[in-house]
Structure 1
């Protein structure tokens, strides 16, 4: 399952994101979305967890949790819109 993680502090990196979710499930991938020109984080990212029940548990546990003094927004990612 692909999980959206929003309201991230700009200092949070992909390893930090993976470590947080590893407490709940095995993470197969983590990605912080960055600006293509400046390389600055856009404040959100995605985590992939293969086991759906573990992914749902991580979502329910981490949505609203605090990281770097910011309240995380965690939910199942919606598919990208094709243009």
Structure 2
């Protein structure tokens, strides 16, 4: 018989709180999602691979394109495996001049819709 010993479960802390599905900015199920803003219309995925690759393991890159022109809409996303590497990439590349543009780089946040 155990006396007052409770096992910690990362799934349920109490009936009201669960760590699973917690809303951690930038965290996806597969890594840390980084928002990259102010890309030029001619930017493609290779630019993001080259920028973020030196900081660590990159899972995925996505440049958001205009449906009609297939040009970059000015932003994209990078998913990195490791939080520390993602944070270092953000710290190093936020404010970085790429051509004639200054990049804005941050962890992706979920949009909140106004009622």
Larger-Rg structure: 2
Alpha-carbon offset, residue 79 of structure 1: 2.2
1:68 aligns with 2:102: no
Indicate conservation of the 8 Å contact 2:42/2:71, yes or no.
Answer: no
Q: Which runs of 5+ in 1 are unaligned?
A: none
Q: Of Structure 1 and Structure 2, which has the larger fraction of its residues in strand? A: 1
Aligned match of 1:49 in 46, 65, 80? Answer: 80
Structure 2 CA distance, aligned partners of 1:30 and 1:43? 14
SS in 2 for 1:23: helix
Structure 2 CA distance, aligned partners of 1:45 and 1:10? 11
For these two proteins, the number of residue pairs brought into alignment is 82
Following TM superposition, where does structure 1 have runs of at least 4 consecutive aligned residues deviating by more than 4 angstroms? Answer: none
Cα deviation digits, residues 42-76 of structure 1 (max 9, x gap): 01000000100100000000000011121000000
1:10 aligns with 2:27: no
> TM-score scaled to structure 1, two decimals?
0.91
Q: CA RMSD in A?
A: 1.3
Structure 2 CA distance, aligned partners of 1:19 and 1:81? 31
Aligned equivalent of 2:58: 27
> TM-score scaled to structure 2, two decimals?
0.67
Structure 1 CA distance, aligned partners of 2:64 and 2:111? 14
